[in-house]
Amino acid sequence: MQFAPYISFLAVMAALTLAACQTTAPVTQEPLRYHGVQTRLLDNDLVQFHVTLSGTKSSEQVARYAECAAAQYTLIRGFARHVRTRIGQQADRLSADAVYTISRSLPQGTKTIDAEVVADACARDNIPMV
CATH number (domain holding residue 73): 3.30.1360
pLDDT of residue 17: 56
The answer to whether residue 56 sits within a structural domain is: yes
Rounded to the nearest 10 degrees, the angle between the axes of helix 115-124 and helix 59-75 is 120
Quick one: pLDDT at residue 78? 84
What is the structure's pLDDT at 106?
Answer: 79
Amino acid making up residue 76 = I
Q: How far, in Å, CA of 93 to CA of 105, rounded?
A: 36
**2 within some domain:** no
* Residue 23 domain flag: no
Is the residue at 110 inside a domain? yes
Number of domains in the chain: 1
- Sort 128 into a burial class: Cβ within 10 Å, 0-12 / 13-18 / 19+: middle
Q: Each residue's pLDDT tens digit in the chain (130 positions)?
A: 565 554 555 455 555 555 555 545 455 568 899 999 999 999 988 999 999 999 999 999 999 999 999 999 999 888 899 999 999 999 899 999 999 999 888 777 778 888 889 999 999 999 998 7
